[in-house]
Amino acid sequence: MSNVIHLLTRRPIESPEEVLPRPDECLACFVHRMVGRQGCSAALRWVEQFRVHRTRRATALGRRLVARGATCDCSVTDVVWRPGPQLWEWSEAGQLVPPEQVPPCPGVRPGSTQPCRLWVAVADLAI
Ligand SMILES: [Zn+2]
Ligand SMILES: [Zn+2]
């Protein structure tokens, strides 16, 4: 553990690479991974981190997510996209619940702001 403190969350981070998107990691996997490790920023700062490093020209990205109901990072992988049904797990109470961790991102093409195949749009689920 280093003594580097993350500027957004004020929690210690292990290395700067830990808070950057991996080379072909998708937006949903990155945001979900960061919220799991570092916590929600209570804004869309992990989304912005992704945009700056991976899809710099997608300046409307945050606005598009807000239009789909996102209010903060953790809501991106709750109200906009959710882990696909194949990943859900049975809780001890006998309910199907979304997984706390998702498998490693299978990747998306460079510059894409779409999630990978691990995720489904909530709008599609709620039929
Ligand atoms: Zn949140
Ligand atoms: Zn992914």
Sequential pLDDT tens for the chain (127 residues): 445 566 666 666 566 667 899 999 999 999 999 999 999 999 999 999 999 999 999 999 999 999 999 999 999 999 999 999 999 999 999 999 999 889 999 999 999 999 999 999 998 876 5
Ligand number with the minimum distance to the CA of 47: 1
For residue 39, give the ligand nearest its CA: 1
User: What are the domain boundaries of the chain?
Assistant: 16-125
- Please tell me the distance between residue 64's alpha carbon and the centre of ligand 2 in angstroms: 18
Query: Residue 28 C-alpha to ligand 2 middle, in angstroms?
Result: 6
CA-nearest of 51, 37, 28, 38 to 118 is: 28
**pTM for this structure?**
0.84
Of the listed ligands, the closest to the CA of 109 is 2
- CA pair distance 49, 18, nearest whole angstrom: 12
* b/e sequence 44-67, b meaning 16+ C-beta within 10 Å: bbbbebbbeebbeebeebbeebee
